[in-house]
Structure 1
Amino acid sequence: MTSLVSAVPAAASVVALMHFSNRLTFETDCSDVFASQQAGDLDFVLLDVRGPHAYERGHVPGALNIPGRLITADVLAAYPKSTLFVVYCAGPHCNGANKAAVKLAALEYPVKEMIGGVTGWLDEGFELSGGIERSVSAAIGCEC
């Protein structure tokens, strides 16, 4: 009897290697961002792409706030084209980070998404900065 998992065969190892290796060029996770911050390895700009009210209620420490809808060449003019941006939004239920990543890539900046966003950050047990509202639901809002 075949399980639902194996009903569709797994990809060949060479294809799986390419797929998962490619994903790592597009994504990072909350744990890697946190570890890089703790080590002082800040060779990227962490960008919270939610609206300003959500950012003020709570954001990942060290993140700048540029709402996705405001990402333009003029806003980013101070950053060299080699600047790696790591974008995040509310969480896996929101595509704001994906939309921001599209804009950054179209402007020819390297970009990765911090998968999980604020939800993932909190799930890892990491603290948020800013704001007086510390409840999870208050901090996660998107506004994008």
Structure 2
Amino acid sequence: MVISTAIEQDCGLVFDLLTDLRQYGLWLRRSGVFRGTTAIAPGPIGVGTTYVESSLWGTRHGIINALERPALVSYRQPMALRPRWLGTVDVRINDTLATVEGVTLLTRSIRLTFFGPVRFIKQAVALAFQREIVRTQSALKEYAESLAPSTPRNM
């Protein structure tokens, strides 16, 4: 599944907000699907950074696989479902950012692979993921656009 949103803010700033796992609470409210990002590995956020995200459905143990400022961040988040007998969902996410006609286009591509009985309700699970991505992108857009325009960093 692929979901995009246009954000009227500098691409570098949007990237920084998206990758600052410790500050998600500034712009993303908790929900049944997202209870917060915890157990973030110490040090700067980069390739190999691990973290945990819990929800009513289960726990995602995430790792950042790729980080190329300001254009790409990739994550893998295997999710152990609750109750455990439901199985697991292997979640792979690629966020790409590009400046298009003066705005940042954030595109999230997500691949879900189902193991165990959860595969029988994969459409419902995929719909829940889709709704959460839309909610997350909307919250990020609202917060980013409320900030003063930034000066792009030289990389």
Q: What TM bracket, shorter-length normalisation? A: under 0.3
Higher strand share: 2
Q: TM-score, normalised by structure 1?
A: 0.28
The structure having more radius of gyration, on CA atoms, is 1
The structure with the greater share of residues assigned to helix is: 1
